[in-house]
Amino acid sequence: MRVHLVNPSHLAFGVGVITPRWLYVLAAATPSTFGDPLITDETLEPLDVTTINSGDVVGIGIHTGNALRGYEVGREARARGAWVVFGGIHATLYPDEPHELGGAHAVVKGDGDIAWGRAVKDCVSGSPQPVYEGGKVDADSFLAARWDLLPTNKYMWASVQTVRGCPKHCSFCSVWKTDGQKPRQRGADAVIAEVVELRRRGFRFIALADDNFYTVTLTDIKMASRRADPRQRENLEALRAERFELMDKLSKLPKDMIFFTQITMEAAEDPAFLDAMRRARIKGALVGVEAVTPEGLKDVYKDFNYAGETLVERLRAFREAGVHVLGSFIFGLPSDRPETFEATSVIASRANLTFAQFVMLTPFPGTVDFATWEKTMESNPTRIGGIPITRHWLIPQELRPKVYTPHPVMAADEIRQRTQAVWDDFYSLPKIWDRSKCVPNMKGRLAFVMISKLYRQMYANTGIATDSARVNRSARWARIIAAPCRRLFAAPPMPELQIPS
Ligand code: SF4
């Protein structure tokens, strides 16, 4: 009997950008009596089903984007006589679906850190429960990943989680519902131990794979200070102090280490926090800008962000503090107009962004946007390939539309083409070359160009293009560029590295 863990994907690039952390956390959660799990990340290579035998246990983690491929894998595994267990955000939101479509014997809802082990044991004894409630485990129970199982030379960045949950409530995001609004912050020592293990193995670039690294804002503390009861303020101050403790400990790690995280724009107003990030060598952050107009921010319940000139200033503040920003923008919001695309492009250039991504508004399950859209679609009988449009993740990839929410002034294809044009402009060679000035030498600048091109091929062309030939061409290109790009991130292992005292 063997335990398998599968990260499904319909596209494989041979090399991955960031390690899919959940695979290695669930490997740690697998009871040791069943041996080391066999891990397959299909973003590297497709699953070899012949490795699955009768009586094996196959764990498949799905989010909405890869659910359909996950169900294919589940059915194949079940046909080979294996026990099939699904988990991940999508299975948590729709626990019946893997049973109906994916050959599931069981579904783990919520965090798998504890529940996965129970599910494996029950499968092996022949009596799995249909659903396991994993809930939201305390930060003290977050497991360290089994990095000893990582294949060599396959990923550019490793990933460590420092916090789950986000106190915000953006309308297009399900994190605050699935991971909760109360940040569950992991102790600094546990994080540092994992980071040190990864540096020993030759990873010097680490993504702090958090929902939101900036868990407490200065405004939160100011508002809590107005309350008669001091406990809320004390609580927030303790959480903030823990962030500073973690960043202080990161700053004591080898000087060649570089970190990347995900953060809200409010951190730009907190010079002490930015300074601590700089010392910790957190040199990159994904910032959800979403929209460049006040109306757009209102559309997505993100009025804590800024628009116009203030937005440019805030984004520049990160760069001035030594933090490169990957700005994330959404197109297709109800208030967007044809001129919004050009305005966004201009702001992305003026704000000194190092990278940017431009996604089209998609109603994902578990979000406020999805609930509203699903309601408006109740009387709409639109089906594609026999699937109701409100179950868009079940529509075969090649038939799946790119835009779902009807827009007041633009057709779906206009939004798609204009989005593609903004990607094309931001990642045009002259613009990339100009941005590459942020690295000190010619070798670094060439590496920057390659990485920018890879990013575009992996995330824009494969996600926006409707033409499958273009998608396949992009995937092939990405495969070719990915291997040399990975070498740019690798570092000599430091097997002797100790945890700083
Ligand atoms: S988009 Fe970011 S800030 Fe908004 S709820 Fe999701 S994780 Fe939090």
Q: What is the mean pLDDT of residues 418-445?
A: 93
**Which pLDDT belongs to residue 465?**
55
Q: Measured from the CA of 169, which atom of ligand 1 is nearest?
A: 5
Which ligand 1 atom is the nearest neighbour of the CA of 262?
2
Atom of ligand 1 at shortest distance to CA of 174?
6
253 CB burial (10 A radius; 0-12, 13-18, 19+): buried
- Atom 7 of ligand 1 has which residue's CA nearest to it? 211
Predicted confidence band of residue 463 (pLDDT cuts 50, 70, 90): low
Residue 448 Cβ inside 6 Å of ligand 1? The answer reads no
Q: Which amino acid is at 401?
A: P
Distance 172 CA to ligand 1 centre (A): 9
Distance of alpha carbon 376 from alpha carbon 412, whole angstroms: 17
Residue 404 near residue 380, CB atoms below 8 Å: no
Count of helices and strands (H, E) across the chain: 19, 17
Band of residue 455 on the pLDDT scale cut at 50, 70, 90: confident
pLDDT-based confidence at 484, cuts 50/70/90? confident
Rounded distance between C-alpha atoms, residue 98 and residue 86, angstroms: 7
In this predicted model, what pLDDT tens digit does every residue of 285-338 receive, in sequence order? 999 999 999 999 999 999 888 888 999 999 999 999 999 999 999 999 999 999
Of 162, 169, 172, 173, the residue with max ligand 1 atoms within 8 A of its CB, to mutate for a pocket test, comes to 173
**What average pLDDT does this structure show over 395-411?**
88
Is the pLDDT reported for residue 460 higher than 70?
no
Ligand 1 atom index nearest CA of 302: 4
Closest CA to 354 of 442, 477, 455, 257: 455
Q: How far is the CA of 200 from the centre of ligand 1 (A)?
A: 32
Q: Is 215 in the pocket of ligand 1 (CB under 6 A)?
A: no
Does 267 sit in the ligand 1 pocket, CB within 6 Å? Answer: no
pLDDT digits 0-9 by tens, 100-157: 999 999 999 999 999 999 999 999 999 999 999 999 999 999 999 999 999 999 999 9
Residue located nearest, by CA, to atom 6 of ligand 1: 173
Under the banding of pLDDT at 50, 70 and 90, the label for residue 207 is very high
Task: Decide: 105 and 74 in contact? Cβ < 8 Å.
Answer: no
As a whole number of angstroms, the distance between CA 253 and CA 238 comes to 23
> Is the model's pLDDT at 459 over the cut of 80?
no
What's the pLDDT at 466?
53
